[in-house]
Amino acid sequence: MDLHPGDVILIEVQFHQTHGAKVRPAIVVLDSGDEDFVAAPVTSRSRAAEFDLTLADWQAAGLNVPSVARVHKIAVLSKASVRRIVGKLAADDLVAT
């Protein structure tokens, strides 16, 4: 699977202390071409962290509710956990991230 910076994806995130998982949105930051990629999580719960970036055009990105990118929480994730690509960040939001 090829991912591109700015792709908005749904990814299955495993719980650490219990069994199960949740599907969460994330924004692709880097795909180096192997089985992993770098992404920033997306949340609808703004905690007003210094590095949270409000996504102005969240609907065009395929998100259901107003959201923020938590760029200070980037992570290396497995492409095997990607459920689907839901959209792409608008140019203005991509520049901000």
Query: What is the pLDDT averaged over residues 43-50?
Result: 80
For the entire predicted model, the pTM comes to 0.89
C-beta of residue 67 within 8 angstroms of C-beta of residue 25: yes
Q: 41 near 79, Cβ under 8 Å?
A: no
Say how many C-beta atoms besides its own lie within 10 A of residue 30's C-beta.
14
Q: Residues near 25 by Cβ (< 8 Å), separated by ≥ 6?
A: 8, 9, 10, 11, 41, 42, 63, 67, 86
Question: What is the architecture, at CATH level 2, of domain 7-91?
Answer: Roll (2.30)
The average pLDDT across 77-92 equals 94
Position 19 confidence tier, pLDDT thresholds 50, 70, 90: confident
Q: What is the band of 97 on the pLDDT scale with cuts at 50, 70, 90?
A: low
Sign of CA dihedral 14, 18, 22, 28: negative
